[in-house]
Structure 1
Amino acid sequence: MPKTHKLLTGLNDQQKKAVTYDEGPLLVLAGAGSGKTKVLTERVAYFIAEKKLRAENALLLTFTNKAAGEMKERVTKLTGFAPPFSGTFHSFCAKLLRIDGRAIGIPPGFLIYDEADQKDLVKQILAELNLPPDSYSPGAILHDISEAKNQMLSPAQYAELIQGDWGEAVFKVYGFYEKHLKEIGALDFDDLLIKTVILLNIPQILKKWQRVLTHIFVDEWQDTNKIQYTLTKLLVGDRKNITAVGDASQSIYSWRGADFRNINYLVRDFPNIKIINLEQNYRSTQNILNAANFVISKNTTHPILKLWTQKGEGPKIKLYAARNGFDEASFVVDKTSRLNSYKNYAFADIAVLYRTNAQSRVLEEALLHAGIPYVLVGGVRFYDRKEIKDVISYIRHLINPKDSVSKKRIEKIGIRRFEKLEEFRKDKRFGFGDADC
């Protein structure tokens, strides 16, 4: 078991305060590059090593599988124990529902519909209702369905609020959408959260999980939405052992329901909460931080952290006001060429950031024309690739022949590919009883 001094090695004073603060509600307001994830994982490790918290009684929640994996790995490395309840909100909720979901009519082998599955289903429903997808965008309809779900509104409750042809169309699609999911035993990502909240409103089940998960640790608190806040508050209960790490200035997911005001709500709902600020930045120079501080200081909706660093002032920030996208691309190409030719920077040392994917086309054309090699980061995600979706749909249909969305997808892959999948399955003697799709 590691000693306290080993756990605290390399931490600044504010980080140490956050790691070693005693039980009870704690809010760590952590600026960009301030080592917040390290602080959170070390706090979990500190409680396991020094406060004798059992790893299985700790719940670590974050927003990406990668971050969750890194946090779990760090805690395991520091303590020798791997917290079994460590992951994203959605993966945690899926685990709870597979264990106790029968109490609200959810079978443990339920399917999970991702965004592509949802769109396919909505397209199918639009066709059945004779609603043209050009007039009724599947993505926009799904957005409204998600909004309704996050407000805990059933199709019937949503019907009382609708206006106009659009609202009527969403209401109809929403009803068929929910009916289809129920028939095949599937949940979408919103359902994972909502159904877990419904499950935890059963007193004996809530008490069970409050006894198991005595300490809650949440990263990126500014990215939580209304349902996630409700879920966390239910689990915390009277013990009030919650550690939330976040920064309202880094909230970028409001478009999917994230509400940075959950930071304020946490302070409101836990009056005795301890607040610790992490303002020392380890990533940037002071000139960059000064510019960031100046811009964000104009925001009056939340507490503002004043970031500082020991890395020195660094070079000044240069601003080029381009006339249009083509001028901007020309500037990027010229600057990149100069850095490569005269400053001996490799092309791999240079990054170009843009706000929307639509801006990449002009930049790519300019780079290609200049003969500058580049890699486009953030292309199609692995599980969104056509071939991967095809295979997953094939497996899903084997598990659940009622899954019409998967059936329609595999009907489009062609007889030769289908036969190859069948041959591969029979050759490997796959069994799908434990598949988790």
Structure 2
Amino acid sequence: IITSNSRLDYEQKTSYSFLILLEPNELNCSILIFIKLININDNPIIFDLNSLMYNITENNLLPYYIGRIRLIDIDQLYSYNYEFYLQQQTTTEISIDYITGSIILNDKLDREYHGSELEYDIIAIDYNNKENNLTNKLIISINDINDHGPKFDQDYYSINISKSIRPDTVIFQINATSKDPIQNGNITYDLINSSDYFFINQQTGIIRLKKYLSSTITNFTLIIKAFENDINLTDYTNLFITIINDDNMYFNINNNNNNCFIEENKIIDTNICTIGFNSNDFIYKLIDHMNCFAIYENNGTIINKKIFDYEIDQHEYNVTIIVKDRENQSIILSSVNLTIYIDNINDDYPEFLTKNFTTVLYLFYLSINTIIHTMEIINNDQLNLNFEILNDTYSSYKLQSSLKNFTEIILINSIITDHEDNLIIRLSN
């Protein structure tokens, strides 16, 4: 009796052969046994899983043939006749030919709208036995193409930055997104209005300061473009930048319009004004092309290096004060322009240009309001002067200043007899 010690499966192996030897061996007797298995219908009909999974690209032309649903009958003893249907009868995206199992795409699929994968419940119904149904999932994976451009989440952005921020400081990071996944939505950023003061990282959208801001700048508007490589799709936004003047951190200027004053004749090293503060973090430096002034770096006190004469020297001097980092003086934190004015004082007394006696001789009688004589005055301090005739006994004359640094003697009463007047005129301020 020949028996098997395990289950024999036609689908695994259809036949077996072996040799039987009789003992003792001296008999030299053997027999070849060949066993052929008879197939029976012991395996159910199933879906071919490979026919239930598809990858398609979005935005195909319609109608589009996706594939065909197939069944597997391992035993293949009988013919079968199945009909194929979608269990979700309301879907319009795909349809299935109930006889052939062909899958037809009816609507354009957009990965950014439909998602990366669609799943449908399908049923195969045995035409000969309506109760013998098969069910499974039909899975359609949607492959992305680069069909969506970048998009900023705002039309514009507004930020405030300090005037004294250091170069290479990050001031903002712009961000645009694409509905396409990362491998397709590769966004690059660029500044449309190229700025001397700012630059942008094309990959990250990080905007940094390129160099120190000028003290005269109050705002910027940057136009930023986002675009995707390999496609002609872009988006734009504006970044409004307001510059906050933080000079009060470094300068004690108040409301005097960046002006300082020193009187003429002050000795060297006179304190003119203090425009800063004591700090362990920063120091002050002075740019003075005339080399007339110096500054105490610890608190910004400006002193004179020469004695000024208002009547000889220029009356105002423009200098620049720079604030530097104390530890690294290559870093400039802020700056301000300052005008130093020289104040005039009354140190030059006015005097007549001609100090000697002046004789004016007339051989006829003058009419009233005639200018008898004009005197020139030296007035270096440009003061308001007073003139006075000290000995006009008959009140015959008056003094009149018609031009700068000049005064005139004018006859105001008629002269009817010959006479001589020796006038003494006093000049004062």
Structure index of larger Rg: 2
TM-score, scaled relative to structure 1: 0.15
Q: Compare the two structures and name the one with the higher helix fraction.
A: 1
TM-score, scaled relative to structure 2: 0.15
Q: Compare the two structures and name the one with the higher strand fraction.
A: 2
